[in-house]
Structure 1
Amino acid sequence: MPELPEVETVRRTLNQLVAGKRIESVTVSLPRIIQRPAEPEAFAAALAGRTIETVERSGKFLRIVLDGLVLVSHLRMEGRYGVYAQDEPVEKHTHVIFHFDDGTELRYKDVRQFGTMHLFAPGEELKQPPLSRLGLEPLSDSFTPDALRKMLAHRPTKIKPLLLNQTYVAGLGNIYVDEALFQAGIHPERSADSLKAAEWRRLYESIRATLERAVEAGGSSIKSYVNGQGEMGMFQHQLLVYGRKGEPCSRCGGPITKTVVGGRGTHICLRCQPPRRKRRAATAGELSN
């Protein structure tokens, strides 16, 4: 699934490709992708004649801002956008086509068919699901060490599942949580309420740094991800633990191991990310002293 860096890269390329274009008509061939309004015909009619002003992002969601409407789009597992000439053959699994009046088209392709699209009046998209459920935006000014700590520090839950929960921190997925926890030296099974202040700061810094480097590299093309111009991301060549099971750790030389945390495959270095030791129970002799 595309995570924040991949969606941000798609946002930037789409903004270059479609901002200022006027939609002449919309073709929907897979109605269930359209979540709001309920009828795909109403979706198409609402967009006809609208001009795309800009493309923005909230967590893993794209926000295509038009004159008078906002289209909220989630790519899910395999969704991708591309801009084509109208006379180019339409590829299989293309489910929504935005026909522009300049002879080009924005096409949405989704092999797994899990993507979603919602239409809202401007400003309403932030007050209603799905965007109203999102937590801290990790590349925004509101994402600070204190904000992260206040959100999660009191929870007796493993830190990795908490970071994957979009209602707490928006945009993080399996790849970048593994990378950030490694950079911070925190075992993914540590409970959030066991982390010290210095560890929260390291975690904050590693999340920001990992995401910023990934965005700069155009995201990670682990499976099928490409940006709006059909280009692969390059950050997979910089990954330190994710996908490197059995390889030596770049820091200590120990082996990268893979386990399961919260139902997700998880890559760690046990030397650099030691699990927190449990307190040893006092013996009868120690209690009597």
Structure 2
Amino acid sequence: MSTLTERPGQARGTRPAEAAPGYRPGHTLPLRVELVRQLKRRRTLVMGAILAVLPFVLLVAFAIGGEPDGPADRITLMDTATASGANFAAVSLFVSAGFLLVIPVALFCGDTVASEAGWSSLRYLLAAPVPRARLLASKLVVGLGLSLAAMVLLPLVALAVGTVAYGWGPLAIPTGGSLAPGTAAGRLVVVVAYIFVSQLVTAALAFWLSTKTDAPLGAVGGAVGLTIVGNVLDAVTALGGWRDFLPAHWQFAWADAVQPRPEWSGMIQGTAISVTYALVLFALAFRGFSRKDVVS
């Protein structure tokens, strides 16, 4: 029994074109194929190299500058960077979460569709035929997967580098006390998971822009730029309670997880805000692309 499919842009009231024998929309553009394509791209390799090199840059900076030196009246997380490998990994996340980790998320999610349009290959993918929702879903899953891999790569390399340089030991907490190595490792997993969730807004924004433009730089730069604007607005204390609705306001709520008694309220609020914005933007991306006249 043949399957009937409706091609994008088909006139209403006409009989859908009959699909070729054996055609199954759900088997087009497999995730494995899309993942291999993205892994082979130069920007993926360059971004992975940058994140892997960052811990070594920090290690050299501490070696040249000596022990971290903060205000005399209080101890910060940065002051404990050389206490153990776990502390070094936590500091690496702290210095990169605000901006550096935004870039791979915006790059992997914002470049994915726009680059196909820029290469004039998007229309050929749809003519294969790959259903539009299937194409977007494959690219989104791979983009998010690469973003998560980038966030996991940084602390893993930092933990290894820090352990070799400063030893394997408990995570020293600036406010006093410490976490056992096993407990610290579990808390760092929670931290990475929360950072990933908090970056879903940037991912969704970049993905939505990627479906709107043929210029990858526009989608990536737009997402990074608007993320920076959110950080600037969060610094405006005159906004008062309105800042609670900004995803940037909760981006460092993960610091509550590296305490003797973790506090989850901030991370729960941050997760709710981030997921809500992301779902709306993802929905706009799928809705807009399903109606878009693709000519590239």
Answer 1 or 2: higher relative contact order, Cα 8 Å, separation at least 6: 2
Q: Same fold (TM over 0.5)?
A: no
Q: Is the helix fraction higher in 1 or 2?
A: 2
Q: Is the strand fraction higher in 1 or 2?
A: 1
Could you tell me the TM-score, scaled by structure 1's length?
Answer: 0.29
Could you tell me the TM-score, scaled by structure 2's length?
Answer: 0.28
